[in-house]
Structure 1
Amino acid sequence: MSQIPSEFILAFLGMVFTAMFLLSQGLVIPVFGEASKVRKRIRGRLNLLERASNLPNMQSILRQKYLRRLSPLEARLEQLPVMESLAQMIEQSGHEYRAYRVLLLGVVLGSAVGLLLWVLLQIWWVALPVAMAVFWLPVLKISRDRSKRFAEFEEGLPDALDAVCRALRAGHPFNETLQLVADEHKGPVAHEFGLTFSDINYGNDVRRAMLGLLERMPSMTVMMLVTTVLIHRETGGNLTEVLERLSSLIRGRFRFQRKVRTLSAEGRMSGWILVSMPFVLAAAIVFSSPTYLPLLFQEPLGQKLVIGAFIAMLIGIFWIRKIIRIQV
């Protein structure tokens, strides 16, 4: 009975892992949170506002203060390319890691795993992709934590706005309502509102403090809140009534997103079935007819067919994602 070479077994398992990982990342429609394109557009608008106000970017000021607290070596490492974006991602995720340590951890893990696979298998085209995948694991963990924190913030934002409205009716100024929310609530909402209050309390104006909140939490709901507060400070009006309507609007938006997620459940399940079916059938063939499948991996033409099928599967994953991923 012919045996399947071990390198092709590892390659097959790598294909399974890659397909399942991309599927889990690509077919998740968030109930809360915004797409990366929306966050980039919000950051672009923030830069325009900063330039129009002839004021330095708040994120850049905080970045400079942060670098001055580090040792010379750490400051040089933190000033490497992409470090600023990674540091901002770490801050938004709620962690206090230093950016260069996260990348250093990825380099150490990736090098160790890649070297181990190279020593065991002596196959560079298996060790190198696995090492690169392991290198990005710390960054992916931080990115997932950031998305989770964004979701928790937006989930608690309507209740925080209701608390702000009650405090405004009781006669508290807007600045103190932020502190009340920070004291009475928990999680990212309390933390971010507390930072905004401290920003105002330490001498910044409300405009810069609210724009700082939007920089830390770049989402459409926060942008609506910041726009509402800034317009009220410039034109006046009943802020309590506007915030109540905004809270109702955000809740309605979340209800609609949940409905979209429910309606797209069939498409997401179809994606899981279509992607997992080739691997399940391959495993069934190996167990039922052990001499049937090894020929596909041993022949050069069969190897090319497997690689071509995997590439087509990746295209299909992204295509399914494009079909069912509806951003609201």
Structure 2
Amino acid sequence: MNQIPGEFILAFLGMVFTAMFLLSQGLTIPVFGEAKQVRKRIRGRLNLLERANNLPNMQSILRQKYLRRLPPLEARLEQLPMMETLAQMIEQAGHEYRAYRVLLLGLVLATAVGLVLWSLLQLWWVALPAAAVVFWLPVWKIAHDRAKRFAQFEEGLPDALDAMCRALRAGHPFNETLQLVAEEHQGPVAYEFGLAFADINYGNDVRRAMLGLLERVPSMTVMMLVTTVLIHRETGGNLTEVLTRLSSLIRGRFRFHRKVKTLSAEGRMSGWILVSMPFVLAAAILISSPTYMPLLFKEPLGQKLIMGAFVAMLIGIFWIRKIIRIQV
């Protein structure tokens, strides 16, 4: 049996990695967290509230102070297009990286991977897509960490609301309930509620502090909490009872999300099988007939067919994702 050429194995593994990574990103349906469209609507409503009250955006104020503390070169790099959005993602993910360093890391990794694949394979249609995927890996990692942190925050929010209700029944003012949550809990909930308490403690009003919380954690559950608190501050009412009902509503919402994930498991498994089947068959052919597949890689027509099949597979991944999202 002839030995399988190393460049064919590298190209095959590169395509497997790209397809599986995109599939994992596309078919993963979080139990908690909000879709991108929901967060965009929340961001729009938040901007309307800021303009209606003639208040500058808290994140913009903090970013301007942050930029003034940087050296001139780093400040210019941080002001490049899309850097503000990336910096906000990094902050929401709980990291302290600088945005331009994340993109520089992606550029260095993409250049290294592209040059290595080009020197080994001499196939631009393998090196270029692999470099493009590697370039966005740091950003995808930050986005994954942000989604995970949002999920942890929302998972701990009902317990935090219960603690606030107990403190309010005991006679504590609203400001101290935020401090109690920050001291008695752990994770993103304690950190974010501690920041909200610090905002109030350092001179901001409750409205501004709660809007800052919504800016840092743009989710529907946080928006319900902020709306509840702001309405209570303006019109009065039994805040304890409302927060108790809100906690029960959030827990019911989590149960619904878990049920949706269970019902969509069959569709996601079908997506994994459909995408992995061509690679499994190609591996079986490489093992059983080593002289069969190299011809497809060496011939120009075969390279075009492989590239077309890979592009069609990527389209299929996003199509499967769309079908599963509609079913959800």
TM bucket (normalised to shorter chain) is over 0.9
- In structure 1, runs of 5+ residues without a counterpart are none
1:3: how far off? Answer: 8.0
Q: Which residue of 2 aligns with 1:294?
A: 294
1:72: how far off? Answer: 1.7
1:327: how far off? Answer: 9.1
Task: State the TM-score, normalizing by the size of structure 1.
Answer: 0.94
CA RMSD in angstroms comes to 1.9
Change (3 A) 1:39 1:318: same
Q: Is the 8 A contact 2:125 2:307 kept in 1?
A: no
CA distance in structure 1 between the aligned counterparts of 2:259 and 2:138, rounded to whole angstroms: 33
1:132: how far off? Answer: 2.5
Q: Which residue of 2 aligns with 1:305?
A: 305
Change (3 A) 1:315 1:134: closer
Q: Per-residue displacement from partner, 1:32-74 (whole Å, max 9, x unpaired)?
A: 1111111111111111111111111111111111111112222
Q: Which residue of 2 aligns with 1:99?
A: 99
1:283 alignment partner, SS class:
helix
Write the mapping of 1:159-178 to structure 2, written as runs, cut at 5 A: 159-178=159-178
CA distance in structure 1 between the aligned counterparts of 2:326 and 2:208, rounded to whole angstroms: 33
Q: Does 1:140 align with 2:140?
A: yes
Write the mapping of 1:190-209 to structure 2, written as runs, cut at 5 A: 190-209=190-209
CA distance in structure 2 between the aligned counterparts of 1:104 and 1:139, rounded to whole angstroms: 11
Q: Which residue of 2 aligns with 1:11?
A: 11
Query: Which deviates more from structure 2 when the two are superposed, residues 284-293 or residues 247-256?
Result: 284-293
Q: Which residue of 2 aligns with 1:325?
A: 325
Change (3 A) 1:257 1:144: same
Q: Per-residue displacement from partner, 1:103-122 (whole Å, max 9, x unpaired)?
A: 22222222233333334444
Q: Which residue of 1 aligns with 2:251?
A: 251
1:2: how far off? Answer: 8.2
CA distance in structure 1 between the aligned counterparts of 2:316 and 2:119, rounded to whole angstroms: 35
The amino acid across from 1:89 in the alignment is M
Q: Is the 8 A contact 1:110 1:134 kept in 2?
A: yes
Q: Which residue of 1 aligns with 2:116?
A: 116
Q: Is the 8 A contact 1:110 1:132 kept in 2?
A: yes
Misfit runs of 4+, over 6 Å:
1-5
| Identity of matched residues, % | 88
Q: Per-residue displacement from partner, 1:82-140 (whole Å, max 9, x unpaired)?
A: 11111111110111111122222222222233333334444444333322322222211
Q: Is the 8 A contact 1:29 1:326 kept in 2?
A: no
Q: Is the 8 A contact 2:7 2:120 kept in 1?
A: no
The amino acid across from 2:46 in the alignment is L
Q: Is the 8 A contact 2:19 2:275 kept in 1?
A: yes
Q: Is the 8 A contact 1:153 1:187 kept in 2?
A: yes
Task: State the TM-score, normalizing by the size of structure 2.
Answer: 0.94
Q: Which residue of 1 aligns with 2:154?
A: 154
Q: Does 1:217 align with 2:217?
A: yes
Query: Which deviates more from structure 2 when the two are superposed, residues 33-42 or residues 204-213?
Result: 33-42
Q: Which residue of 1 aligns with 2:23?
A: 23
Q: Is the 8 A contact 1:29 1:261 kept in 2?
A: yes
Q: Per-residue displacement from partner, 1:232-267 (whole Å, max 9, x unpaired)?
A: 111111000000000000000000000000111111
1:281: how far off? Answer: 1.1
Q: Is the 8 A contact 1:26 1:318 kept in 2?
A: yes
CA distance in structure 1 between the aligned counterparts of 2:121 and 2:147, rounded to whole angstroms: 37
Write the mapping of 1:272-291 to structure 2, written as runs, cut at 5 A: 272-291=272-291
Query: Which deviates more from structure 2 when the two are superposed, residues 5-14 or residues 41-50?
Result: 5-14
The amino acid across from 1:43 in the alignment is R
Change (3 A) 1:53 1:152: same
Query: Which deviates more from structure 2 when the two are superposed, residues 302-311 or residues 205-214?
Result: 302-311
CA distance in structure 2 between the aligned counterparts of 1:308 and 1:111, rounded to whole angstroms: 24
Q: Which residue of 2 aligns with 1:183?
A: 183
1:13 alignment partner, SS class:
helix
CA distance in structure 2 between the aligned counterparts of 1:112 and 1:289, rounded to whole angstroms: 33
Q: Which residue of 1 aligns with 2:229?
A: 229
Q: Is the 8 A contact 1:3 1:294 kept in 2?
A: no
Q: Which residue of 2 aligns with 1:80?
A: 80
1:163: how far off? Answer: 0.2
1:6: how far off? Answer: 5.4
Q: Is the 8 A contact 1:178 1:194 kept in 2?
A: yes
Change (3 A) 1:126 1:317: closer
1:302: how far off? Answer: 3.3
Write the mapping of 1:258-269 to structure 2, written as runs, cut at 5 A: 258-269=258-269
1:285: how far off? Answer: 1.8
1:323 alignment partner, SS class:
helix
Q: Does 1:238 align with 2:238?
A: yes
1:325 alignment partner, SS class:
helix
The amino acid across from 2:189 in the alignment is V
The amino acid across from 1:290 in the alignment is P
Change (3 A) 1:25 1:248: same
Q: Does 1:34 align with 2:71?
A: no
CA distance in structure 2 between the aligned counterparts of 1:327 and 1:219, rounded to whole angstroms: 22
Q: Per-residue displacement from partner, 1:136-195 (whole Å, max 9, x unpaired)?
A: 222111111111100100000000000000000000011110000000000000000000
